[in-house]
Amino acid sequence: MDYFNKNKKVQLNPWQYLVLSFSLLIFAGSLLLMTPVVEHTDGLSYIDALFTSTSAVCVTGLVTLPTSGFNIYGQLAILLLIQLGAIGIMTLTSSFLLALKGSVSLQHRINFSKLQENYELQDANQILKNILKITFTIEAIGMILLTIGFLMEGDNWHEALYQGFFHSISAFCNAGFSTYDSSIIGLNALIKYTISFLIVFGGIGYFVIYEVIEHCKNKRNLSLHSKIALLTSLFLIIVGSIFLYFFRDGHINLTDSFFQSVTARTAGFNSVDLKGLSFPSIFIMLILMFIGASPGSTGGGIKTTTFFIILYSIITILRGKNQVVIFKRTIRTSSILKAFATTIIYLSVISLGVIILFHNHSFKFEEVLFEVVSAIGTVGLSLGITPHLTTMGKVIIILLMFIGRLGPASFAMATIKQEKEVQIKYPEGDLY
């Protein structure tokens, strides 16, 4: 019988593979943190180990226990999980397989191309060869600059080198983990600007960086995706900085306004006490966290391209046009529908998360909303309630971080066996 056919293989679509891979990595990470060599000054329960592993793999940065409390083995374990989670299981596996064998299988390339929809199948091998090179090069440059910054803070060479190493990986991966309990509050401008630009490079997307390099080397034209990602990211950074500085209430300077505008979209570091910010500033940061980073990057959120398509579609409708044209390219209706669907799904998950979390805790509404948006946006900023979550609250945030890292669409696609194109077209109808 077919039920007992041992030779029958279970076929996973790319999204099922992605969900399963990240689930296994998170579980393995939680076990790694529970090994005897890993210690924490406050003790470590399994739920806290699972929370920390999820936050690291999903490059979020929310913590129930301070990272400074882990010994060196615990911090290095967290750093390893951050690096693996940021690069992504599919990308990392393909890259190392490529390095070992010089090529990847056709099925692996197809799966990778489906997960990175913006690139043609024949480009997959070359892109995979450059991902690790780009990652480690940028992290190395960031480590050097940060080491200098920490030396300026008075650290010795060994401590400055370690802090530069840790924060460079955490920043480029948009993780937001810091060995300082107060994140980077009070540190010098070199550290803040270096971390800011590492966050930008990590949040812009591996393939945008790849295309920019190709453009500089071979004068290859940037794709529509890269143009929109770069333009939207620049717009959000500038506008976010201006608004945060305008509503600062004397609490934040221009450098910190820029830093918080950058970190709010993806990373989770903070250079000021967030509980001291005004309500308009908190609301601006909520919007930035919701939008997030660009596709194919280490960050979360609905993505910059989704935000751009929605905004430009609304402008197009208000101008009385029926086609969305950007840079002399018509945007497919399916892309517009995906953008709106993604946003509605995110809003629905956020609403559900706020309701459940608010029901089980006595926190203020803005604290709960900020925590939920930060979790699903894989940002890692908090108004201070994370360490006070109940076990149920920790489980909710774990699920939100996991969903936010992979995207709600991944869970929907994981349930679909194959994409089907509808061949029958029905007459159009109008709604008022």
Determine the 3-state secondary structure of 131 from DSSP.
helix
Indicate if the pLDDT at residue 120 is higher than 80.
no
Residues 360-371 have pLDDT tens digits of 888 999 999 999
Which pTM does this prediction carry? 0.86
Q: How far is CA 300 from the centre of its chain?
A: 3
pLDDT tens string 199-210: 999 888 877 887
pLDDT value for 212: 87
The pLDDT assigned to 126 comes to: 64
Residue 244: HSE in the Cβ half-sphere, 13 Å Cα cutoff: 31
Q: Report pLDDT digits (tens) over 385-411.
A: 999 999 999 999 999 999 888 876 565
Which DSSP state fits 66? Answer: -
Strand partners, 70: 40
Q: Which residues of 217-247 are buried (b: 16+ CB within 10 A; e: fewer)?
A: eeeeebbebbbbbbebbeebbeebbebbbeb
- Does 71 score more than 60 pLDDT? yes
pLDDT of residue 233: 93
**Residue in this structure with the two tokens 């940021």, named with its chain if needed:** 86
Kindly list the domain boundaries of the chain, sorted by start residue.
11-412
Q: Which two tokens mark 399?
A: 């699920």
As a whole number of angstroms, the distance between CA 175 and CA 186 comes to 20
> Is the pLDDT score of 119 beyond 70?
no
Average pLDDT of 126-154? 87
pLDDT at 4 over 50: no
Q: Which two tokens stand for residue 104?
A: 């990847």
Write phi, then psi, for 361 (nearest 5 degrees).
-140, 165
Average pLDDT over residues 165-183: 92
Mean pLDDT over the full length of the chain:
84
pLDDT of residue 361: 86
pLDDT tens-digit map of 197-255: 999 998 888 778 878 888 888 888 888 888 999 999 999 999 999 999 988 766 688 89
Q: Which amino acid is at 205?
A: G
